[in-house]
Amino acid sequence: MRAAGVSVRLVLVGWGAIGRTVAGLLSSDTIELVGVGVRSDRTRSDIPSPATVITDPFDLPALAPDVVAEAASRDAVIPWGRAALGIGADFVVSSVSALADPDAHTDLRTAAVAGGAQVQIHAGALTGIDALAAARPMGIDIVRHRIVKPPTAWKGTPAEGLCDLDGITEPTVFSHTSAADAARTFPKNANVAMTTALAGVGPNRTEIMLVADPSAATNRHELHAEGGFGTMDVVLANNPLPTNPKTSALAALSLVRAIENRVSPIAI
């Protein structure tokens, strides 16, 4: 992180519900939003001045960012990550499902080492990730993560072919698989599966259960882990962002925290 009180030049990649929320909630006067990366150059009147809109990762050097924070999609992670790390800017990842591809994970790691920068994966819509990562040196035996959402939240995904989303009357586990498979198959709905995996025992040993629950009013994460540290059970019920019911509010809030911790005299 930069020394307290020193300005950090920030580029946000993505101007959807999360990007807009993050820009609106950043409160530190030592964070300068100098650019917003988007897929097209159509006019966006709500981007705060004097931030520059860019559509190509190769335009990053002109903005001289210290931090590039992705809040777009898994397809944005590698091109924007390479470009950011290549100029020595730290890269904060939200679309962690992109790292289900081992080559992508290696690619970013290599670029970070070469650029003398860091890839940061923030907790997103989860809790307990700090404890899970801290427990690794003593050994973790089991990590199970249940992702419970209303049936409507699974519409438009492969879940439609795995269970009757319109007809179920009780919580239904329609997929019990690894984090790597869940993130690849459900990149938006199970994005956080890879966050859990990278914090703990890895993509292939982390068990993910995807659940459609007709009584659910929130997106719920139930995380269980066992190991030399003891046993952990945490449950988090996320309210959606008012501007996008498919996105958990905590996903945006966690990104705000990750960015502001870089300049805060006391970080937690």
Domain 129-239 matching CATH 3.30.360.10: the answer reads: yes
The pLDDT-based confidence of 44 (bands split at 50, 70, 90) is: confident
pLDDT tens digits, 205-240: 999 999 999 999 999 999 999 999 999 999 999 998
- Active-site residue flag, 221: yes
Closest CA to 117 of 92, 94, 91, 99: 91
Average pLDDT, the chain: 94
Give domain limits for the chain: 8-125+250-260, 129-239
What is the rounded average pLDDT of the residues 67-86? 97
The pLDDT-based confidence of 4 (bands split at 50, 70, 90) is: low
Cα 180 → chain centroid: 15
CB contact at 8 A, 190 and 210: yes
| Alpha helices per DSSP H over the chain | 17-25, 60-63, 74-86, 102-115, 129-135, 179-185, 192-199, 249-260
CB contact at 8 A, 65 and 89: yes
pLDDT tens digits, 139-196: 999 999 999 999 999 999 999 999 999 999 999 999 999 999 999 999 988 999 999 9
The pLDDT-based confidence of 204 (bands split at 50, 70, 90) is: very high
What the block records as the tokens of 19 is: 């990007």
- Looking at the domain 8-125+250-260, which fold is it? Rossmann fold (3.40.50)
Is residue 5 over pLDDT 60? no
Residues of the chain above pLDDT 90, percent: 86
Peptide bond into 50 cis (omega under 30): yes
The pLDDT-based confidence of 2 (bands split at 50, 70, 90) is: low
Is residue 132 over pLDDT 90? yes
The pLDDT-based confidence of 108 (bands split at 50, 70, 90) is: very high
Closest CA to 80 of 105, 102, 55: 55
Residue 91 amino acid letter: F
Is residue 3 over pLDDT 70? no
Residues of the chain above pLDDT 70, percent: 98
pLDDT tens digits, 224-233: 999 999 999 9
Rounded Cα gap, residues 4 and 26, in angstroms: 16
pLDDT given at position 260: 94
The single residue of 105, 122, 145, 221 carrying the catalytic annotation is: 221
Q: For the ranges 5-14, 15-24, 158-167, which has the lowest average pLDDT?
A: 5-14
| pTM, full prediction | 0.93
Q: What is the dihedral of CA 157, 160, 166, 168, to 10 degrees?
A: -110
Closest CA to 92 of 231, 233, 252: 252
What the block records as the tokens of 263 is: 């300049």
Is residue 1 over pLDDT 60? no
